[in-house]
Structure 1
Amino acid sequence: MKPLYNFIVIAVLACTAFMAASRHAYGQIDTSILFIAPERVEFPPAEDERPVTRLINLTNKSNKTARFDVKIENYMMTENGDVKRVDNFNYSAEPFLRYTPKRFTLKPNERLAVRVMAQIPKDLPHGDYHTHLLFREIPSPQKEQEALPENQGNAVHFDINTIYGIGVPIVVQNGTLSSRLVLKTADIAKTAAGTWLSTKLQRTGNAEAAGKLSVSHVIPGQEPVTIIAEQLVRLYHEVDMVERKIALPLIKGHQLSGGELVVRLQTDAETDTQEIRLPLK
């Protein structure tokens, strides 16, 4: 029986979460449909006003021909570390960017390079600016046809088709940059739902700040137990302080009791390691 309606889900990977798996800043995104490299595009401060171009390389990894629209979308970080889509904000890089193509088709294993050009206006204040370049799948004619309603009596059926989309962060830097990430506070709370770590991170300066956050359980006379391995933490220019609750994962055969929970932040400066120790009962 054919579905009465199709429910379309758009999956967008923005790569801007407060905490994400640590990866090299110029790594790659490898998904079931698109292989994208690099996963993040940076335009460092330019010496003059001439435009600068970067390439984003794409490969269709699926076994079907796929069509994509390319567009800029702004995502702004909030005070709880999430990101939300907005039309514009003070530190958007959208006004300085041009790109081509804006639509493309890729056969299986076919490759394409998207050109992104940045041109910085003369009077732009020093600091960094960011946005995302979104690659969004165009539904095939077959999917569009299936979305049309059909008479199936009183029965209602839903067929979930995913419209694929992935966003690549674009960061434009201008002038002299300065920033630092500080681990201000950390607290632990045990509830019926599990053990939670509350953290407060502060960003200073005129640019984003990043570091690697880790959590370990230390008991005197025993080997430390890693609770959270190094995770990349990034605060964008638009937020000065982020508060976030993190659910601590359960480690098989290990109890979070006694000793101390050590919360450690390693920033981009290798010598800048900050830590807070929380006693555990």
Structure 2
Amino acid sequence: MFKLFFKSTVAAVLCVVSLLNIAQASLLVSPTRLAFEGRERSHEIVLINTSTEVRTYRLKWVEKMAMPTGGYRELSAQEAMTYNSASEMIRFSPKQVTLKPKERQVVRLGLRRPKGLADGEYRSHLKFEALPLKRDNNDSGEMSIRLDVLLSYSLPIVVRQGEVTHHIEIASKTLAFDSHTGKTQLSVNLSRSGQYSTTGSLTAFWQDGSNAEKVVARLNNVNIYPELSQTTQVMAWIEKDFRPASGTLRIVYEGKQEFNGQIFAEREFKVTPAMFNAQL
């Protein structure tokens, strides 16, 4: 009986791991990032329940800081006091949504800039926090395990004041080749200065010998925020059957969304096989 219970528990835990991936897609949010520019005073976010169950989400502000290697961490109460937060100047509605399967909901945001707002960039994250699902009790007398996976999602909301300027440089790169798997990894180190963030995509182009230049790595949604002077972005080499060789690696950081079409930074590197000596 204990073995059966243990096996059932392990299976349930493994099920949670799968559910985490599935549940991430249970709420479709568009767009995944918002910026108030110039005279803009309103924006909308569209939510769609892509699951097969009724879902309820509570909306609230959280203050987060970007990390150099990607992702965010929540600020402490003391840190938040001196942070350029946008939450005090933005109102949103509704505060809570309940969505049937495939149902959509529009969340409206309104901005009111305070008088004398200093130039710079202000940011807060709007969090969609999943509430517990309602479950029927099991009255059959059989042993059961109930696992409620509660997930949340947050997106950055940016307010810019003043003339937007930015300075980004591709400082260096690191290449790593694993001879056992044949996989190559490219790490790009970027440096920035100024009061404003950028958003865009990183693309790596490779050319060796007489072959034409081709895309070998791409990373979308690369956001570099004002609190970061440096960041490292890791990209997977997508070319199949690649082996270290001599060539030219060109890396481009190109703006997207409100920066569409702008080239923030571009740099070429001469590469030799020896530069792939780091192992994954």
The answer to whether TM tops 0.5 is yes
Q: How does 1:159-174 map to 2 (within 5 A)?
A: 160-174=147-161
Which residue of structure 1 aligns with residue 165 of structure 2? Answer: 178
1:126-150 deviations in Å (ceiling 9; x for gaps): 122112211121112329x79xxxx
Q: 1:79 to 1:273 in 2, by over 3 A?
A: closer
Contact 1:66/1:137 (CA < 8 Å) preserved in 2?
A: yes
Which residue of structure 2 aligns with residue 278 of structure 1? Answer: 270
Distance 2:232 2:219 in 1: 18
Q: 1:260 to 1:73 in 2, by over 3 A?
A: same
Give the TM-score of the pair, scaled to structure 1: 0.73
1:62-114 deviations in Å (ceiling 9; x for gaps): 33221111111222112333322224262221222222222222223333222
- Which of 240, 244, 251 is residue 252 of structure 1 equivalent to? 240
Number of aligned residue pairs: 250
Which residue of structure 1 aligns with residue 129 of structure 2? Answer: 136
Deviation at 1:238, TM superposition (A): 1.4
- Which of 206, 216, 236 is residue 195 of structure 2 equivalent to? 206
**Counterpart amino acid of residue 268 in structure 2:** I
1:32-88 deviations in Å (ceiling 9; x for gaps): 4233333322222349xxxx3322222323332211111112221123333222242
Contact 2:169/2:265 (CA < 8 Å) preserved in 1?
A: no
Contact 1:11/1:166 (CA < 8 Å) preserved in 2?
A: no
Larger helix percent: 2
Which ranges in structure 2 are unaligned for 5 or more consecutive residues?
274-280
Distance 1:234 1:42 in 2: 12
Which residue of structure 2 aligns with residue 227 of structure 1? Answer: 216
Contact 1:265/1:273 (CA < 8 Å) preserved in 2?
A: yes
Q: 1:171 to 1:104 in 2, by over 3 A?
A: same
Distance 1:175 1:259 in 2: 43
Which ranges in structure 1 are unaligned for 5 or more consecutive residues?
13-30, 147-151
- Matching of residue 68 in structure 1 with residue 57 in structure 2: yes
Q: 1:278 to 1:53 in 2, by over 3 A?
A: same
Q: 1:184 to 1:158 in 2, by over 3 A?
A: farther
Distance 1:120 1:187 in 2: 43
SS of residue matched to 2:196: coil
Q: How does 1:60-99 map to 2 (within 5 A)?
A: 60-87=49-76, 88=80, 90-99=83-92
SS of residue matched to 2:150: strand
Q: How does 1:231-246 map to 2 (within 5 A)?
A: 231-244=220-233, 246=234
Greater relative contact order (CA < 8 Å, ≥ 6 in sequence): 1
Q: 1:225 to 1:38 in 2, by over 3 A?
A: closer
SS of residue matched to 2:88: helix
58-67 or 170-179, larger mean C-alpha shift? 58-67
Distance 1:80 1:190 in 2: 20
Contact 1:94/1:131 (CA < 8 Å) preserved in 2?
A: yes
Which residue of structure 1 aligns with residue 276 of structure 2? Answer: none
Which residue of structure 2 aligns with residue 121 of structure 1? Answer: 114
Q: 1:94 to 1:277 in 2, by over 3 A?
A: same
Q: Once the two structures are aligned, what percentage of the paired residues are identical?
A: 22
Distance 2:253 2:43 in 1: 32
Q: 1:110 to 1:255 in 2, by over 3 A?
A: same
Give the TM-score of the pair, scaled to structure 2: 0.73
**Counterpart amino acid of residue 131 in structure 2:** I
Distance 1:39 1:265 in 2: 19
183-192 or 65-74, larger mean C-alpha shift? 183-192
What is the aligned-residue RMSD (CA, Å)? Answer: 3.5
Deviation at 1:228, TM superposition (A): 0.3
Distance 1:191 1:253 in 2: 12
- Which of 22, 32, 41 is residue 39 of structure 1 equivalent to? 32
Distance 2:235 2:98 in 1: 41
Distance 1:198 1:112 in 2: 39
